[in-house]
Structure 1
């Protein structure tokens, strides 16, 4: 998990995570976010988020964030790492994400 502070009109340049999905929550401000779908469409999916909004960047897809306000913006981002081989310990993930072990196990089963 990481806290990101954006200056007015500040950006996180386009990038991707080859082995993790990213989830972002806006704590303060307004943020334009987007990602590009896979071939053959290469379609841009974008949205302007407000305080309290959550957005998911799928694993392996190019994505970006940009503060579209005149004030600072703040987000919390987390990389979802439930699909490792072998699985990361349920106890470690439950403590890291502050959730019950059963929730971690449900997510791990999806992989």
Structure 2
């Protein structure tokens, strides 16, 4: 998970997550979001989100966010990629995400 803070008209430039789908929730402000579909269309899908709105960026597609308001934007994004071989130490992940080690182990078990 990540917290995104954008000043007025700030951007999170186009990028990809090759191994993860991203789900984004707007906590404060107005946020333009968009992603480009796969070949052959390469179509831009975009929308203006408001506080409380949620948007999903499919795995591996180029996407971006831009603050389109005069105030700050706060958003929370979560990525689906969590598994690896071998597993990242549950102790490290528990400390990083500030959760109990048993929660990390439960999530890792699914991968």
TM-score by length of 1: 0.76
Deviation string for 1:68-111 (max 9, x for gaps)? 001111001111125756888xxx79xx6x8xx8xx6xxx59xx
Is residue 8 from structure 1 mapped to residue 8 from structure 2 by the alignment? yes
- 1:29 aligned to 2:29? yes
Distance 1:58 1:86 in 2: 25
CA distance in 2, matches of 1:4, 1:11: 10
Point out where structure 2 has 5 or more consecutive residues left out of the alignment.
Answer: none
Question: Is structure 2 residue 69 aligned with structure 1 residue 69?
Answer: yes
Shift of 1:25: 0.5
RMSD, matched Cα: 2.7
Partner of 2:40: 40
Q: Which of 1 and 2 has greater Rg?
A: 2
Deviation at 1:11, TM superposition (A): 0.3
Deviates more, 1:71-80 or 1:31-40: 71-80
CA distance in 2, matches of 1:54, 1:71: 19
Runs of 4+ in 1 over 2 A off after TM superposition: 82-88
